[in-house]
Amino acid sequence: MNLARITIFVSLLLVEFCFANNGNLDISAFGGKPNSDIAKALSSAWTQACASTTPVKILIPGSTYQMSVLELKGPCKAPIEIQIDGTIKAPADPNTMKGAYHWLTIGRVDSITLSGKGVFDGQGANAWKRNDCHKNYKCKGDSMNLGFNFVNNSIVRGLTSKDSKTFHVNVISCNNFTFDGFKVSAPNNSPNTDGIHIGRSTNVNVINTDIATGDDCISIGDGNKKLTIQNVVCGPGHGISVGSLGRYEIEESVEGLLVKNCTFKGTDNGVRIKTWPNSPVKITVSDMHFEDIIMTNVRNPIIIDQEYCPWNQCKKQNPSKIKISNISFKNIKGTSSALEGVVLSCSSGVPCQDIEMDNVDLTFNGAAAKAKCSNVKPKIIGKAPACGDGVSAGGS
Contact status, residue 371 vs residue 344, Cβ threshold 8 Å: yes
Instruction: Dihedral sign for Cα 240, 270, 373, 385, please.
Output: positive
* CA torsion, ordered 189, 190, 191, 192, to nearest 10 deg: -140
Strands 367-368 and 353-364: antiparallel
**Contact indicator for 305, 274 with CB cutoff of 8 Å:** yes
Cα–Cα distance, 98 to 100 (Å, whole number) = 6
- Residue 168 is a catalytic residue: no
What residues contact residue 34 under an 8 Å CB cut-off, 6+ apart?
63, 64, 65, 86
**Marked catalytic residue, from 102, 168, 197, 238:** 238
**For the CA atoms of the chain, what is the radius of gyration?**
23
CA distance 314 to 276: 8
What end-to-end distance do the CA atoms of the chain give, in Å? Answer: 84
Q: How many whole angstroms separate alpha carbon 267 and alpha carbon 255?
A: 25
Task: Say how many C-beta atoms besides its own lie within 10 A of residue 221's C-beta.
Answer: 22
Contact 245, 283 (CB under 8 A): yes
Chain Cα centroid distance, residue 390 = 33
Residues 82, 139: Cα–Cα separation, whole Å: 34
Cβ(159)–Cβ(148) under 8 Å?
no
CA 153 – CA 249 distance, rounded (Å): 30
- Residues listed for the chain: 396
- Number of alpha carbons in the 13 Å side-chain half-sphere of residue 19: 20
* CB contact at 8 A, 283 and 252: yes
Active centre residues (catalytic): 238
